[in-house]
Every structure is written in structure tokens, then in C-alpha cells.
Amino acid sequence: MPNTARWSLVKHLINTGFAAALGLQMITGTVLLAPGVAHAEVTVETHDVLEFTYQQVGATEEEAIRQACIRGVHATIGRVLFSDYSLQAEDLLTPYIAKNWQKFVASYYVLERRVDRGGFGVLIRVQTYPEVVHRDLREKKFLYKPEPNPRYAVFISEAVNGMPTPISNARLASLNTLSEDGLKVQNAVVPVPGYRVDLEDQAGAAAARAAAIQAGAERLLLGSADTHRVGDEEVLLDKLVTYETNIKLMLIRVNDGRVLGQVDRAVRYSGKTEDEAAAGVTQKAVGDATRELIHNATGVRDREVLDKTAFSVMFTDLTQDEVQTVSKYLTTTLNYGTKVFLKSWHGNVAVMNIDTERQYAALERAIIDFKQFDLRITDRQGHRITVDVQH
């Protein structure tokens, strides 16, 4: 399989089969939703509850009400993420909320009803308990507070001259590199057998990510190292043995499976003995790849996860396409090297961290001047700004 196709497959595997890897029983059922269900029309925050109004369609009125309440809970989660907390195991969160949504809903009231061929439609007002949501998700470990120095889990399969090694020296080389650089390694990871992962195996990739979450790691290094002898040569009368390692390594954000970076290259190394050459090429290939991936992702994490930017802005109701539209608009309008990082997007609530040299007045003007739909700044607490979205 060509490298490009293989890496595309691996990315797919990282993001699928995850719930099965944890043995989660998924909730089943048929839900009929109208295409392009309307946005939340009204959002009002009080000290105790959040309130949302939805147009919702379902196979029955009860199903429409259920789906609207679940939407309200997810929108509440999106608002909870406008904080120092981040979300993990999103694959498991959806079925968890589908099963337990009632305990997060303070009340709901059907304002209008209609019936047509598409099913039952309701205009419904839903109130949720944000403090209950926050406390419960923290207890269930869905919410966590990112550390300045994240923890890493490592799964790297290894073969030397076509034979799998009893202990992956490639994995050990990566662990040693992380430790030498002062990074935290999560050694308590519940391993897939021998820490080996077949990059083309869906279950193996999902199990590695699930194990990393269970152990409390925020990032996962996942890959393979294929080392083999390529020949001999003489240098200044010394006979040297040359080995080559084909290293494939991915850095993955555990909570959502996003690939933060990847390395796919061949590295050669020569030594006076077989063992020296084989060990040397493994250390060089894996060590360099590990450091490269960590270095490239560090600055982004500070701004994306740790809010080390001039502003952090919550938009109360954006689709995924609208997130891209607003992000590009702010980047272009603010200019002067401005970069926008998406910290979270959940329940159609987007939190964007904006790295810019512009002052608040420039950001305020950009938000006011946005034309595609209505954006209104409703709150500002330090560098955190709330923008209500009306369509």
C-alpha cells in the first residue's frame, strides 16, 4: 500500500472504532430529524440555568422533545468549555448524554406544535443546569484541566530484519527522548499486547487511544519502526555495518483523535557491529521524529488549549462551516499576523482563541461589522468575551 494511502487509512482508524475499544454498549434507535434543523433562537443565561429555544422535528412529539433537550445539554457543555477545562473521550460523551440527559434538564416547555409528513415538529424552550453538567462531567472524567506539561502515552511497534522484537526498542527510544527533554510520560497505560499496534488495524489503533485516555495521557505517539540491514562499507580501513529504519510516527490529541503531526521517513546509520548499527539507527530515527513532532505542536497547544492568546471568544451558536467562516473573517479583518485557534466546538458552541497584536477595540469593531448574521458582544471578563449569535 502506498504511504499516502496508508496514512489516510490510519487517520480514519484513529477516529473510528473507539467506543468499541472501551467495550461501550451504544444506544440504538431511529431518530428522524429535519435536514438543516434551525439554530437556537434565544439564549439567556442566569445564575442557575441556561435557556435555549429550538425548532425540533422527531418521529413522535416525545422524540422531538427528547432531541431538543439533548441539544440543550450539549450546548451547555459547549459553554462549560469556555473555561480552564477541556473535554476528553467525546466518543463516549454522546451516548452518555443520550442516556442521562434528564438529570441535566431543569425544565422544558412546548410553545408550538405541528404535524406533517416529516413527523412531529415542536417549538420548545429548554432550561439546563450548567453547574450540574460541570460537576458530573468532572466526576466522570469527561472534563479535565490541561497541565502546562501534558502527559504522553507511546505505542510504537518494531521489527528488525523482518522479525518483531520481544521488546520494542523504538518505543523505549521515544520514551527516553521524552524523559530527557523534561516531558511527562504515562507509564501506567493499560497496554495493547506488547504495546504493539498494527497501523492498518482499526481495533488496535482504537485500543491504543482508549488506553491512553484511561491512563490520563493527553497525547499519544503512535507508529511503527521497521529496521533492516542494508549493507557494509569501509571507511578509513574500518569495516562498518549500515542499517536503515523506516519510521512512521503520528502525534495524536487523545481527547478527539485529531492528528497533530506525522513523520514518515527512512533514516540510515552505520556502526562497527550489527548491534551498534541497529541500535543507533533506531535511536536516531525515533528520537529525531519524536522531538520534531513535539516541537512543532508545542506552540499551537499553548495558544489552542492553554488560552495563551490575547482573547478567548465564545460564539454561542455556529455550525462547523460557520466556524470556518468566522475564523477566516477575523484573521483577515484583524490582520497584522492575527491567528485564530479553535479551542472547542461542541453543541454548536465555538470557543476561539485569537492571537493578535490588535487591541480590544479592533476586535469589537470586527465583530460588529460582520454581515452574514448578527454577532453581539454580551459579556467580557478579562480576555474572555462572549458573543451571542443570531441567525
Instruction: Kindly list the domain boundaries of the chain, sorted by start residue.
Output: 3-19+146-304, 31-144, 311-390
- What's the gap between Cα 378 and its chain centre? 28
Helices (H) and strands (E) in the chain, counts: 10, 17
- What's the gap between Cα 205 and its chain centre? 15
- For residue 391, what are the CA distances in angstroms to 259, 317, 371? 33, 9, 11
Strand partners, 118: none
CATH number of 3-19+146-304: 3.40.50.10070
**Count of alpha carbons within 13 angstroms of residue 180, beta-carbon side:** 11
pLDDT, residue 237, reads 52
The C-alpha atoms of residue 193 and residue 211 are separated, in whole angstroms, by: 11
Alpha-carbon dihedral 267, 269, 273, 279, rounded to 10 degrees: -50
pLDDT, residue 346, reads 94
Q: What pTM, to 2 d.p., does this model score?
A: 0.73
The architecture CATH gives domain 311-390:
2-Layer Sandwich (3.30)
Secondary-structure breakdown of the chain: helix, strand, coil percentages, each rounded to the nearest 5: 35, 35, 30
3-19+146-304 and 311-390 in the same fold: no
pLDDT digit of tens for each residue in the chain (391 aa)? 444 444 444 444 445 455 445 444 333 222 233 333 444 444 444 458 999 999 999 999 999 999 999 999 999 999 999 999 998 878 789 999 999 999 999 999 999 999 887 789 999 999 999 999 999 999 998 998 888 888 899 999 899 998 988 888 999 999 999 999 999 988 656 666 667 777 777 777 788 888 888 788 889 999 999 999 988 776 555 788 899 999 999 999 887 788 889 999 999 988 888 888 888 999 999 999 999 999 988 777 778 888 889 999 999 999 999 999 999 999 999 998 999 999 999 999 999 999 999 999 999 999 999 999 999 999 999 999 999 999 8
Query: Residue ranges of the alpha helices (H) in 263-386?
Result: 274-304, 320-334, 360-369
Three-class secondary structure of residue 1 per DSSP? coil
pLDDT, residue 28, reads 28
